[in-house]
């Protein structure tokens, strides 16, 4: 199947969601336990406030900060790009490619539904994006 709907991709997903007040160390432990590369960070009313990924861990450590004493809210990527569940795989791949990131939260009416990463997409979907990219490079 090509160009699947995001609602289909995340239908059985239980994304890792944590409050911004949680320590980075706990987030890293949960990421390891769940075998995921990102935490969706919430603020007031469990609304998406940011995303925390392995890249954020590297920045934290490079700055000499202590993961046990640093809250997620202090080091997360704030106000990340999001996409709706009605969008397609190629839509998500375009947003991630254009933005230079690997994780994209799925949100509808302010409610967190899930998250996708490049690993969630199939070969034909990735091939479609590659074909589009090559076409734009030839045109440009």
Chain segment 114-127, per-residue pLDDT in tens: 999 988 876 656 45
Is residue 72 scored above 90 in pLDDT?
A: yes
- When the pLDDT of each residue in the chain is averaged and rounded to a whole number, the result is 89
Q: Is a pLDDT exceeding 50 seen at residue 1?
A: no
For 48, what's the count of Cα atoms within 13 Å in the CB-facing half-sphere?
26
103, 116 Cβ separation under 8 angstroms = yes
Nearest to 57 by CA among 43, 49, 68: 68
Q: Which DSSP state fits 44?
A: G
Residue 63 pLDDT > 50: yes
| CATH class of the domain at 6-139 | alpha beta
What are the structural domain ranges in the chain? 6-139
Q: Are strands 77-78 and 103-108 parallel, antiparallel or unpaired?
A: unpaired
Is 70 exceeded by the pLDDT of residue 131?
no
């Amino acid at each position: 199947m090509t160009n699947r709907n995001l609602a289909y991709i995340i239908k059985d997903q239980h994304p890792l969601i944590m409050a911004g007040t949680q320590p980075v160390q706990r987030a890293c432990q949960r990421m390891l336990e769940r075998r995921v590369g990102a935490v969706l960070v919430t603020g007031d009313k469990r609304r998406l406030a940011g995303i925390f990924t392995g890249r954020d861990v590297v920045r934290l450590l490079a700055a000499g900060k202590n993961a046990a004493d640093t809250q997620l809210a202090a080091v997360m990527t704030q106000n990340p790009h999001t996409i709706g569940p009605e969008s397609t795989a190629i839509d998500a791949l375009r947003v991630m490619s254009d933005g230079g990131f690997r994780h994209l939260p799925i949100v509808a009416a302010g409610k967190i539904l899930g998250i996708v990463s490049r690993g969630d997409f199939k070969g034909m979907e990735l091939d479609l994006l590659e074909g589009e990219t090559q076409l734009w490079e030839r045109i440009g």
